[in-house]
Structures are given as C-alpha cells and as structure tokens.
Chain A
Amino acid sequence: MTLKELLDQTGWKLATPNLDTSKEISGAYCGDLLSWVMGNGDSNQVWITVQGHLNVIAVALLREFSAVIIADNAAIPEEMIEKANEENLVLIESGLPSYETAKKLVELGV
C-alpha cells in the first residue's frame, strides 16, 4: 500500500500536503520513546507517535520511515512541519489514539 492509498482509505489529514505520497508502506511501528523506535523500527514503515517535535523528524529520517503518523491530535508545531517539508518526510494526522490508529492500519492490511 502507498501513503496515498492509505490517506484515501482513511481520510486522515496530510500535514505536509505538498509532498509526494507515492511511497510504499512496508509496515508500522508504534512508540513514543525515541531510542526504542530507533532500535526497533524498520525502513519504509510508518511510525505512529504522539511526539510532536524536531527530534521526531531526525529519528524518522535516520530510520528511513515512509511517514510519521501523529496520533491522538497531538500538537504539531509549525517548525516541525517546515522541517518535514524541507526533508521530504510525510507527516500525517490520524486524529485517533495510537491504538485506534494501529488498528485501522491492521484492518487495511498494513
């Protein structure tokens, strides 16, 4: 599944509307402790978190995630969106708690 297909099927909001969403999703990782995510996440996954700050962008890029899904309506500061745009990293807002977000991904076969 691509990010675009995910967005089409969930109606989740793209916080970086100008970025390409044709990237494939290989799976998902859910976590808010950055070292845990760094140690256990994998390339091309989407990362579900409630952390909204610049370090999330750094971890996502180093870990080569396809996108970051911000769950639970956690705040996304403007500087984070700017950095994501600059680094070509897709940010998505699910508007759902992490568990519900993950459940939706499972339902869609991610």
Chain B
Amino acid sequence: MSVILHKEFEVIKDDYIGAGRASSEIKSILGSVGIPPKIMRNVAVASYEAEINMVIHATGGIITLDVTDDGVIKLVFHDNGPGIPDIKKALTPGFSTANEKARSLGFGAGMGLPNIRRVTDEFDIQSSEDGTIINLTFYVNE
C-alpha cells in the first residue's frame, strides 16, 4: 500500500464565507482521480460537516486527505480546541451547541456528527481541551 495523493487544507475559525471550500476542493480532487460518484458524495457530506464544525466550534485547524493505491480514502480533521466536553452527547442527533450566528445561517441542526458517522466506513473521534481529532476512512472497493 502506498499513498498516491496527500493534501492539507487550512480551516479558519468563524470563516462562514469560506466554509466548504476545502470540502469542495476535496470532492473535485477525488473526482479527478476517478473515485466513484457515490463514494465521492459520501466523502463530500462528511467532509463538509466536519469542516463546518471546525469553523463554528473550533479555533481553526487542518484537514488532511490521503488516498492510497489500494482504494482507501482517509480524512483527518485536527483542530486546536476547545474540545468537546461530552462526545456521546455530541453524537446524539439533534444535540447542538452552535451559537446564534451559526443557527441563523441554518447550521446547528445537531445532525453534523450523526451525518458523518452514517456515511463513513470507519469513524473515530478523540477530544480534549487541546483539540479534537476526527479520523474518517472510506473504502472505495467495498
């Protein structure tokens, strides 16, 4: 197994205007290397939700995309805090701590993490006050 594609994207806190840019780029990159549309769409949904979470809740962070020659897509969302106090609660559909600004734009439905979990093959989330790391894996050949 070797990495055929590696890219990093910066996400900026409260950048509602630029929010989604990284996910759009990820989708287009995956399209250009021939990832099937259904998987590309699942990656796009998960990536957008995680990117938006970074914009709304975190103080910014980095998204890393890796694709390997055996058809594995890995996305890592690494932010700089403040962390999720109760991950179990955060994974409950409908639970949200989004602020008024985010809610006025239609965010804060409390469906972000549940959506991510639903469309990924593997989902892992670790969080502390120093930041949250979400690891997502998608298998192209399954």
The answer to whether A binds B is yes
Interface flag for B48 (CB, 8 Å): yes
Asked if B23 and A62 sit within 8 Å, CB to CB, the answer is yes
Query: Range of interface residues on chain B?
Result: 20 to 34
* Chain A residues near B (Cβ < 8 Å): 32-36, 38-39, 43, 49, 51, 53-56, 58-59, 61-64
Q: Which of B89-123 contact A (CB under 8 A)?
A: 105-112, 114-115, 118
The interface bits of chain B over 3-40 (1 if a CB of A lies within 8 angstroms of the residue's CB, else 0) are 00000000000001101110110010000000001000
Asked if B106 and A58 sit within 8 Å, CB to CB, the answer is no
Describe A's contact surface by its main secondary structure: helix
Interface flag for B44 (CB, 8 Å): yes
Asked if B27 and A33 sit within 8 Å, CB to CB, the answer is no
CB-contact partner of A34 in B21, B37, B44, B109, under 8 A: B109
Interface flag for B45 (CB, 8 Å): yes
Asked if B105 and A59 sit within 8 Å, CB to CB, the answer is no
CB-contact partner of B45 in A56, A61, A62, under 8 A: A62
Residue of B19, B20, B118 with most partner-chain A CB within 10 A: B20
